[in-house]
Amino acid sequence: MVVTKKYLIAAVFLIVWVEQVFAETANKVKIIYNAVSQKGSGGYQVIDESQDQDIVVQEPMLLLQVGLDEDIFMHGMFAYDTWTSASDKAFDDATSASLLHRQERESFNLGVTWDKKTHGLSFTLGQSSEWDYKSNYFSVGGYHNFAQDNFSIAFNYSFYDDQTKLFDVSEDETKDFESKKTEAMAFDMSQILTPTDLLLFGHHVITQTGTLEGTLNTININGTRTEEILPNFKLRQASYVKWIHSLDEEQALHLSYRSYNDSWAINSQTFEISYLKSLMDDEAYIEVFFRHYTQSQYSNFETSFDSSQEFMTSDADYEKLSSNQIGFFYNQEMEVFDYEAQFVLGVSHYERDNNLSYDTAQISFGVSF
């Protein structure tokens, strides 16, 4: 199994900076440094049998907001990610892929938001680039509060026009860029049930067309290594519900369930429970969580193949599996030389029943000007 961008970036943004970047001030600059370190073992390697799943990710970010008037502001983001992974290094050592054992990704976006506090709209354009993947995208979204802000509904539509490179194992060289397009629609709602209870629920739909294979994913056909082959269309749907219950002024309990299915007949369920405790007069909090995940197997998954088929993959993420993850986050707001600052630390242990486990440590620090 090769490390891919979606897992790396998801790991970094699990620190949840962007959700609370600009809460009140109209004009602001925020500088953030994110880092993730993972020590893991197991899984199906693309080339060797070391089962080394170590990853190190670093990501400095710059976030900007400029108020045009009391309701309209422009916002922008620039991020520079670098990561090293054991599986990429194994592939590089065994081929001429020339990954230099470290990958880099530059991304930015620019948008405008109209916010009337009870309703609003937002539009964003963005781009990202790395050695084997390029993406241009736009998104538009909005929200509206009803019943004296007791009920809220939000929507978002995003379109990604991407280009991806695959590695030709037989020729021992990287192929030219190939097209991949993604459309994502999200509908989210929230309802205040009681003074101590909040319900969140929503439905997300994603369609993908074009080259959906992993950049370095390979398969074994009777001892011969070649690239995986996947369909060029995928429809993904997910629904979720989350209940937030306040135990008292300093403690809360979160329970959530998510159901997923796609056109490749993969189904999954996720259950999560978390406990939050406010500290230091609400200037800090700690969250302890447990997550359980189950998934059905993709019909074209095999650890190895006896003969060629129309579609073939050995990516362990498509195998039938069950996983558990436990961890905590610590979040603290502070002042550094009279500037607003925020520190986040996260630690988790992940283990699943198809021979994969890892421990992850995340750290993030940001200063606002």
pTM higher than the cut 0.85: yes
Q: How far apart are CA 45 and CA 368, in angstroms?
A: 42
**In which band, very low, low, confident or very high, does the pLDDT at 154 lie, cut at 50, 70 and 90?**
very high
pLDDT, average across residues 329-343: 94
Q: What is the CATH classification number for the domain harbouring 64?
A: 2.40.160.40
Residue 106 CB neighbour total at 10 angstroms: 12
C-alpha distances out from residue 89 to 42, 98, 315, Å? 16, 9, 17
Q: What share of the chain is helix, strand, coil (3-state, %, to 5)?
A: 5, 65, 30
pLDDT in tens, 183-221: 999 999 999 999 999 999 999 999 999 999 988 788 999
Can you tell me the distance from the alpha carbon of 180 to that of 208, in angstroms, rounded to the nearest whole number? Answer: 7
The string of pLDDT tens digits covering residues 18-58 is 444 444 446 889 999 999 998 877 766 555 556 667 889 99
Work out the end-to-end distance of the chain between its first and last CA atoms, rounded to an integer number of angstroms. 42
Question: Which amino acid is located at 2 in the chain?
Answer: V
pLDDT at 10: 38
| Number of residues written out for the chain | 369
> pLDDT per residue over 282-326, tens digit each?
899 999 999 999 999 999 999 999 999 999 999 889 999 999 999
| Average pLDDT of the segment spanning 89-103 | 60
Say how far apart CA 295 and CA 323 lie, in whole Å.
9
Give pLDDT, residue 262: 98
Please give the residue that has the higher pLDDT: either 42 or 66.
66
List, for residues 217-243, the tens digit of each pLDDT value. 889 999 898 999 999 999 999 999 999
Quote the percentage of the chain above a pLDDT of 90: 70
> How many other β-carbons are positioned within 10 Å of the β-carbon of residue 104?
12
The total domain count for the chain is 1
Least confident of 68-82, 159-173, 260-274: 159-173
Domain that holds residue 348: 5-368
89: helix, coil or strand?
A: helix
Question: Residue 96: is it exposed, middle or buried by C-beta count within 10 angstroms (0-12/13-18/19+)?
Answer: exposed
pLDDT of 149 higher than 80: yes
pLDDT range class, residue 332, cuts 50, 70, 90: very high
117 Cβ contact partners less than 8 Å away, ≥ 6 residues apart: none
